[in-house]
A and B are shown apart, each in its own frame.
Chain A
Amino acid sequence: DVKVTQSSRYLVKRTGEKVFLECVQDMDHENMFWYRQDPGLGLRLIYFSYDVKMKEKGDIPEGYSVSREKKERFSLILESASTNQTSMYLCASRTVSYEQYFGPGTRLTVT
């Protein structure tokens, strides 16, 4: 079974803090994704990566950056957290047949 894990299920941070969300997949997938999920808005793509050290902006990259130093790990970074970044963050990796596998999500609260 494909396994995608995220470093935290729940996280509470203060405004202005630097926040790291980590995602690890164990199936050697080349493509990995970060989404945020908000009620009524569905999932919106923040960034994706199609290879080590390669990244592409999604629909809402402002305020976020990413890092992919190893194939299995894709990190989302909030350089200076703000209250409007309070959300559920979902990581996913994709098979060659275009199926995405999701992690359990990190519910981030910025106070």
Chain B
Amino acid sequence: AQTVTQSQPEMSVQEAETVTLSCTYDTSENNYYLFWYKQPPSRQMILVIRQEAYKQQNATENRFSVNFQKAAKSFSLKISDSQLGDTAMYFCAFMAGNQFYFGTGTSLTVIP
């Protein structure tokens, strides 16, 4: 069975600081994809960043980067220079075959 675990239900960070959200997953698959999604309050879920499991290099998208540790099955998201607009629920997700599996989410609040 595939599982995704986000152990931090809520986090907060001061504006302009850096924060890291944790995610671990469990799978017996060898080929899979990992994602972080952002859901702002009352707004649509959007993709933040993706990582292919076969790539060793960590993905980066502007202020967002991941630390992908395949052996440890860990996929954390680092947000640098946090902005007020980063306040949202963040979901870690894993895809294998044709199915996606989501974690329970981390609610991030950026404090001005």
Query: Which chain A residues have a beta carbon within 8 Å of chain B's beta carbons?
Result: 31, 33, 35, 40-45, 48, 50, 56, 58, 90, 92, 98-105
- What are the interface flags for B27-58 relative to A under an 8 Å C-beta threshold, 1 for contact and 0 otherwise? 00000010101000001111100100000000
CB distance from B43 to the nearest CB of A (A): 8
User: Of B4, B6, B98, which contacts A56 at CB under 8 A?
Assistant: B98
User: Of B6, B45, B91, B100, which contacts A45 at CB under 8 A?
Assistant: B100
- Chain A residues lying within 8 Å of B33, measured Cβ to Cβ, are 98
| Contact A42–B98 (Cβ < 8 Å) | no
User: Of A31, A50, A90, which contacts B45 at CB under 8 A?
Assistant: A90
CB distance from A44 to the nearest CB of B (A): 8
CB distance from A70 to the nearest CB of B (A): 20
- What are the interface flags for B1-29 relative to A under an 8 Å C-beta threshold, 1 for contact and 0 otherwise? 00010100100000000000000000000
Q: B68-76, B79-87, B101-109: which lies at the A interface?
A: B101-109
Given known pairs A42-B91, A43-B91, the reply for A100 and B102 (CB within 8 Å) is no
| Contact A31–B98 (Cβ < 8 Å) | yes
Of chain B, the residue at the smallest CB distance from A95 is B47
Interface residues on chain B, number (Cβ under 8 Å)? 23
Q: Is B59 an interface residue (CB 8 A)?
A: no
- Chain B residues lying within 8 Å of A56, measured Cβ to Cβ, are 98
Q: Is B110 an interface residue (CB 8 A)?
A: no
| Contact A105–B44 (Cβ < 8 Å) | yes
Interface centre among B50, B93, B100 (most CB of A within 10 A): B100
| Contact A43–B102 (Cβ < 8 Å) | yes
Rounded to whole angstroms, the CA-CA distance of A92 and B93 in the bound complex is 14
| Contact A104–B91 (Cβ < 8 Å) | no
- CB<8 Å pairs between A and B, sample of 19: A33-B100, A35-B102, A40-B9, A40-B104, A42-B4, A42-B6, A42-B102, A42-B103, A43-B91, A43-B93, A43-B100, A44-B102, A48-B98, A92-B45, A100-B100, A102-B37, A103-B44, A104-B43, A105-B44
